[in-house]
Structures are given as C-alpha cells and as structure tokens.
Structure 1
Amino acid sequence: VSGYFTAGSYERKGARRFIAERLIRLGIPLLVFDWILNPLAILPIVLIRSSSYARTTVKVAEGYYSSFHIGSGPLWFVETVLIFSAIYMIWRKIRGPVTIPEPADRGKVSHGQLLALAGILGAVSYLVRTWKPVGWCFEPMNLQLPFFPQYIAAFFLGTAAYRRGWMQGLSDDLGRVWLRVAIGLVALMAGMFITLGALKMDPNDFRGGWTWQSAFYSTWEQFTGVALSVGLLVWFRRKYNRQSPMAKAASDASYGAYVIHTPVIILIAVLLRGVSLHPLAKFVLLMAICVPVTFVLAHGLRKLPGVRKVL
C-alpha cells in the first residue's frame, strides 16, 4: 500500500516536490523519534528501579546517544519507506514518464500470478536466511534484512499496481479465496506451534539455515503475507469503503498515533504496574486506555502550527 501511494504522489507532484515532502513527512518523524521519543520511552522503565532519578537520567542519555543508530523501534518502517522512496524517485528520473492505462486496459490479477509471487518470495527468503537468520539486524540502520525480500517486493509491486491498475484488477472472488487461504495458513501455523512444543523442536531451526523448518516457515510466511494482503484489501474495499466523521478523524491522526505510541504505551504500562490482574486482562485494560489516549494526543498534536504538514 505504501508503494501504491508513493507512485501516485510522484505522479502528482514531480520529483523535486515529491522528495521534499517525503523528507518532511518521513525524515522529521524519524529523527524526532530516534533523538527524543525513543529515549523518553526507555527512561520510565529504568527510573522505576532507580533511587537517583537525576543520575539515572544522565546515565541513560549517555548510554543511548553513545550507541545511537537510526531507525529505532517501530520507526524502522518509516526509514525503510524513505529509502525505497528515494530509490523509486531515482529510477523514475532515469526511466522518464510512464503511461497510466485507461480503466478498460487495466490487467486482471490471477490466482496463478499470486501463487508464483508467493512461491518465489518464499524461495528467496529461505535462501537469504541461510546467510542471515531471522533476528539478525543491520545495526547501523536497525533493519532486519531477512525480511527484506518481502518488503522490497511489496513496495515496488505497489508502485507497479498504481501504474497498471492492479488494485482494480483484484476481483471480489479472488479476494474471498485468498482470505480463506490466509485463515487456513494461520490455523496451520497454530498447529505447528503446538507440534513444536510437543516434539520439543529447536525454534532456531525455523529462523534460518539449511533446514526443512526454515524452508517451511519462509514459504508459510510469504504465502500468508500475499494471502492477507489480497484478501484484506478486497474485503475492506467491499465492506468498509466509507468513513464516518469519527473514522475520518482517526484516519487523519493514525500516522501521528503510529509515531508517538511507543512512549505512551510504556508510560501507561509503568503507571499500571501496581494493578494486580491476569496478564491477558491487564493487556486488554492497557489497550483500552492506550488506543484512545494515543489517538487523542495525535489529534491534538496535528492542531499545532506546522505539525499537520508532518503528521
């Protein structure tokens, strides 16, 4: 989806305005999170075990900024989209203008194409994970490269989907079939987890290497990703292709909520640490508080001068 909207944004704005707005919308939140919000999120966890708040705060700051790397926490996604956007802009500058097909010329997406895509991604992911297993991270940029075959394909196929009208080529029947496939694959993995516990398999065998477990997990992951992407896109298009005023406000604030949610969740979790509840009940309570608080804060932030251009 991010690739789809990237292509549309480039077509409307041209290269210079496109990359300038990407640097504002993606680069500024990335830097603010890495330099300010992420250390603020870490601080409450450390302070609750400290007797000297001032000394501990200084120590946390020294440790954080001396080992600083870009793309901390959930903002790795923003970092990745920014990198992919720059690559897309360069490619478009080299390639030149493209033709957007008329509705009648837009291609239909077939089951065979989706099966081939998922199969190729599964094979490539498996091969990548024989080199770097799941969990390995390129530390300077906080990027988990074992997942990048899927990310690269999803983004750049999204840009192609905009140019070739593939979103409109996803039929309702196709979406229904692949949503069922996704549900079945999720159930299959649940069964595998039960089997894993019963047979006492080594979880590391699923993370990478020349093992059948890694091949299975890589293939399952890509087929599930393709199935969910297609199935949910079509399902939401059919069932929820409209917005109430509240949904519109939440949609407008969703990016801001994404950027700020980490410190909000951690702070509220720390404040609730004295509440004695079953872990699942406490999770539900935390979610019930954090979701509205995060969206209200994001909505308020967007009312500040200049913030709407960023969030």
Structure 2
Amino acid sequence: MASTPAPAPTQRNAGIDLVRVLMTMLVILHDTAIVYGGSGGWFWRQEPNASNPLLVMFNAVNQSYFMGLFFLLAGYYTPASFDRKGGGRYLADRWIRLGLPLLAFFFVLFPLTVAIADATGWEDLLRRWGQGIVGGTHGPGPLWFALALLIFAHAYALLRRAGAFPPGGRTAAALPRPWTLLLAMIGIGLVAFAVRLVIPVGHEVLWLQLGYFPGYILLFLAGIAAAPHRLLERIALRTALPWLAVAVLAIATLPVVIVVHGAAGGFEGGWNGNALYYALWEPFVATGVILKLFAWATVPARRLGPLGRWCAANAFGAFIVHPPVVVALSRGAATMPAAPWVKFVGVSAAACIGAFVVAAALRAIPGVRRVL
C-alpha cells in the first residue's frame, strides 16, 4: 500500500491530536444519543433504549471504530514510552495517568452521576452523592477504557521482558497489502463471533464487554507494530479511499439487514446470521473509517491553532468528566418543549463545551495536570 514519507522522529503530529479531540467529542455525542433513543447502557434516559432508528445507526457506526481507534493510538505510543522510561517507570506512569482517574471515577464521579440522575434538588443531590460515595453502587463508567489499558500495559511489560517485543523486531515498515488486510478483517470478525457465542455484546466481565475485545487487542498490537516507522502518520489518501468506500457500503447494508432479517436472531451474539453479520460488519466499517481519519489527519499542512491546542490538552479530562455533565444537561433539558432530536443536538453541543471547560478547570488545580 502506498504511504507518505516518515516524519521526523521527534515531530508531534497535530492531526493526530485533532483526531483525539474529535473522537473525545464523538464519545460525548455517542452517550448523549443514548439519552434520546440510541442504543446502549447509560445513567439516565429520556427516551426508551433503541427507540430512535437514526440514533441507533449513529451509535452502531461509532461503536465499530471509535474505541478501537483509541486502543490503536495507545499501542502506537507504547513502545516509545516504554523505551524512554524503562519498565518500572512506564508502569508507574500508567498507574498515575490511568489508575488515579479510574479510582476517582469509580468512587467519586460514578456516585455523583447516579445522584444527578436521581436527585430532586440540590440538597437531595448532595445527600445521594454522599451516600453513594460511602455505600452506594460504584463502577468505572467510561473509565473501563483506563482499566483495559492498565491490563494491556502490564501484559506488554511482561511480554517485553520475555522478549516478545524486541526493539526493532516485529514492526511494520509499510501498510499491509490489501489481501492481507482483508483476511485480517475477516479473521477478527470470526474471532469476535466466536467470543460472542459465550459472552454476547452487552454482557460484562469485570466491567469489560469482552465481545468487543478481539478488535481492541488487534488494534493495540497493530499500533505497537506501526510505531517504530511512524506508520500511522504515513497513510496516503489514495490508500484510504477504497477502504472508505467499502466502509460506506457496509454501513448502507445495516438498515437493510435490520429490516429484512430482523427476526433472524440477536445481533449481540449467538449462533445466528445476524450475529455473524454484525461481527464481520464492524471491522469492515472500522478499517475504512480509521484509515481515512489518519490520511486526513496526517496531511503535512495540518496545524492546531490556540483553540485546538487547548482542546488537545483537555481531551482526556473531558473524556473522564463527561458523564455527570451529560446527565446534568439532559436532565435540565427534560422539561423543555422540544423534539428529542433537537435536544440531542443542543445537549451534545453544550456537553462538549461543558466537559472541556470542567476538564480545564480541574487541570488548573495544582498537581492535577500531572494526571490529566
């Protein structure tokens, strides 16, 4: 596959920073869509689950690639971080950057979000929040991603110590050939189908939906392999466009399959045609969208202005704090006389702004910037 020349080893890619910002905003839109009839689990809803076909489609397409892209980037930056810090410092840094936010969400922000969803006023909110911290239900929320990355980081460190990832070994100097990529997409879809026979989508093991993890693991490993030659920053547009066309065609089949084969079994898993279709559909969509995003991001002229740099600095913090922001705004909009899709647009925009502002305020606290 064609690719552009490798960037300088120390050059930071503004386009990739911009992709991280856009994907963080997409996470916020994704969760807001659940409030108004999309599909998935969330803290509070105005409309029934999966009651809006357009938002269900929106969530399905997002799910096919956006978290996988985060895992790809995490793998991409792992070897350099490990080489620079060494195994002990690398793992210690992972616990600071991932473990502390995970604990903060688990014990503080999760009870806060639940309290916002259920409270009838400020006093009730504070009471419920306090009770939730002390003895309520806790969970990682979207920080399941941090939990997974901690597991991946420890696995990488162990395998690196065992010699499975020698410096300069098992790396990709060029993108896979089309047939190799196609076989990988089919293979990972079949593995996901097999996993979902046992653990369907929507079922969690230690807060992790393992039905999605075959793709996440593959993309994390792909990021590691691509890192030494900065391969994600060399994807040419002419390479990405055919795969984007495949992704668009795959997306177009989803509503047809839902309508025509709606009674052929659950998409979430099981020995049926719908589950097999969905497991294969995801990598075909993800490959085209991810390649196109990196081809767009790594245009040499791509730059970040002051606002873009501010957003990039606060993206991880916005990812962490967005659940209470989304729930507070959507509950506040519940009594407004507007159609659900209008509220989705308005609340999504306000939540994106609010989450980034809250993250920036937290990062202004001494010591917090070391974590966020």
2:227 maps to amino acid: Y
2:167 is aligned with 1:98: yes
Partner of 2:136: helix, strand, or coil?
helix
2:293 is aligned with 1:232: yes
Determine what percentage of the aligned residue pairs are the same residue: 31
Q: Name 1:34's counterpart in structure 2.
A: 106
CA deviation vs aligned residue, 1:147-172 (integer Å, no higher than 9, x gap): 11111111111111113543255333
TM-score by length of 2: 0.74
Q: Which has the higher helix share?
A: 1
The Cα shift of 1:120 comes to 0.5
CA distance in 1, matches of 2:81, 2:124: 50
1:151 maps to amino acid: Y
- 2:235 aligned to which of 157, 167, 170: 170
The Cα shift of 1:56 comes to 5.1
CA distance in 1, matches of 2:224, 2:103: 26
CA deviation vs aligned residue, 1:31-84 (integer Å, no higher than 9, x gap): 00000001000002211299966775566556624xx45xx2111111111110
1:29 maps to amino acid: P
CA distance in 2, matches of 1:274, 1:288: 18
2:245 is aligned with 1:195: no
1:154 maps to amino acid: L
- 5 Å-filtered alignment, 1:5-24, equals 5-24=77-96
CA contact (8 A) 2:170 2:225 kept: no
CA contact (8 A) 2:318 2:359 kept: yes
CA gap 1:232/1:51 in 2 versus in 1, 3 angstroms: closer
Structure 2, unpaired ranges of 5+:
1-72
Partner of 2:108: helix, strand, or coil?
helix
CA deviation vs aligned residue, 1:279-305 (integer Å, no higher than 9, x gap): 011111112221112111211211211
CA contact (8 A) 1:119 1:219 kept: yes
Structure 1, unpaired ranges of 5+:
none
2:145 is aligned with 1:83: no
2:187 maps to amino acid: I
Q: Which runs of 4+ in 1 moved over 4 A?
A: 49-63
- 2:277 aligned to which of 212, 216, 228: 216
CA distance in 2, matches of 1:222, 1:41: 32
2:78 is aligned with 1:2: no
- Counting matched residue pairs gives 299
- 1:258 aligned to which of 295, 301, 319: 319
Q: In angstroms, what is the RMSD of aligned CA positions?
A: 2.6
TM-score by length of 1: 0.87
1:91 maps to amino acid: L
- 2:333 aligned to which of 257, 272, 275: 272
Q: Name 2:68's counterpart in structure 1.
A: none
CA distance in 1, matches of 2:283, 2:125: 46
Q: Name 2:177's counterpart in structure 1.
A: 110
Instruction: Tell which deviates more after alignment, 110-119 or 256-265.
Output: 110-119
Instruction: Tell which deviates more after alignment, 41-50 or 152-161.
Output: 41-50
CA deviation vs aligned residue, 1:78-130 (integer Å, no higher than 9, x gap): 1111110111111112217412799xx92343211210110110111111111
CA contact (8 A) 1:109 1:169 kept: no
- 2:304 aligned to which of 223, 243, 246: 243
CA contact (8 A) 1:2 1:158 kept: yes
CA gap 1:78/1:53 in 2 versus in 1, 3 angstroms: closer
CA distance in 1, matches of 2:283, 2:255: 16
CA contact (8 A) 1:106 1:169 kept: no
- 5 Å-filtered alignment, 1:117-156, equals 117-138=184-205, 141-156=206-221
CA gap 1:52/1:206 in 2 versus in 1, 3 angstroms: closer
Instruction: Tell which deviates more after alignment, 123-132 or 25-34.
Output: 123-132
Partner of 2:231: helix, strand, or coil?
coil
Partner of 2:270: helix, strand, or coil?
coil
CA contact (8 A) 1:101 1:165 kept: no
CA contact (8 A) 2:243 2:291 kept: yes
The Cα shift of 1:222 comes to 1.9
- 2:248 aligned to which of 167, 171, 183: 183
CA distance in 2, matches of 1:54, 1:157: 45
Instruction: Tell which deviates more after alignment, 86-95 or 265-274.
Output: 265-274
1:113 maps to amino acid: T
1:132 maps to amino acid: I
CA gap 1:60/1:19 in 2 versus in 1, 3 angstroms: closer
The Cα shift of 1:137 comes to 0.9
CA distance in 2, matches of 1:162, 1:51: 51
Q: Name 1:74's counterpart in structure 2.
A: 142
